[in-house]
Amino acid sequence: MKKFQKGFSLMEGLVTIGIISLVVGIGFPTIDNFGEQEHFEADLATIRGQVNYVRQLSLEDGNAYAIRIVNDTSNNSSDLEVWRADGIHRHNVEYHKSTSTKCSDFNGTGDRDTFTKGTKLNELTKKLEHMTIKKCTNLTSATCTAVSNDNNFFCFLPDGTAPENTRGEVQASANAGSKKDFIHSYETGFFNIGSRM
């Protein structure tokens, strides 16, 4: 009578290791990039939410608002601060006489906690964990020449429109795939992330 030995043959072991290696080799890059895409999409959602909220706020209470971007380049993150403009209000006669109110009417001072013509609303500040944004000096060039830190903001007038067309470069950290994109703001108050419309 033959005795059967229990266990796996060398060939069965090698085939099993080969199949496991193949599955891991295909699946790991997808799983590894999953977190990066999540970080990128989460920060984009924060940007969209903040812009939509501030625009709606300007429509509801009749004030002009700015979203001031304070970049922390050492951590590749940003704070999206909300500032209410003092003096740019729908009931202000001077605002209605002006035919060319610009974002520059907010006038940054270089001090993180003061904006010449505004009040910071601390409770509305949002944090981008994996992105920085720099406002560009031009609308169409392939590269972005950044404005000064004092003028790194987007604004909305009391009627929810923007006083000028603007563009900003969004740069994601390595934790979010090191992607680069653009945010565009239009005089209508509409904005988009991606290609200019």
pLDDT at 53: 94
CA-wise closest residue to 151 among 137, 172, 165: 137
d(CA 197, CA 189): 13
Per DSSP (E only), the strands in the chain are: 63-72, 77-89, 118-120, 126-128, 131-135, 153-156, 166-172, 180-185, 191-193
d(CA 111, CA 86): 17
d(CA 140, CA 179): 19
pLDDT higher for 31 or 183? Answer: 183
CA distances for 17 relative to 12, 22, 27, angstroms: 9, 9, 15
* CB-based contacts of 35, cutoff 8 Å, min separation 6: 175
| pLDDT tens digits for range 71-123 | 998 999 999 999 988 767 776 655 555 555 566 556 544 444 445 557 889 99
pLDDT at 112: 43
d(CA 22, CA 8): 20
pLDDT at 34: 64
Q: Across residues 185-192, what is the average pLDDT? A: 90
- Work out whether strand 77-89 and strand 191-193 pair parallel, antiparallel, or are unpaired: unpaired
pLDDT at 95: 57
Q: What percent of the chain has pLDDT over 70?
A: 80
pLDDT at 126: 95
Residue 22's pLDDT band, with cuts at 50, 70 and 90, is confident
| Contact call for residues 146 and 134 (beta carbons, < 8 A) | yes
pLDDT at 111: 45
Compute the half-sphere exposure of residue 125: CA atoms within 13 Å on the CB side of its CA: 16
Residue 43's pLDDT band, with cuts at 50, 70 and 90, is very high
Question: What is residue 84's three-state secondary structure?
Answer: strand
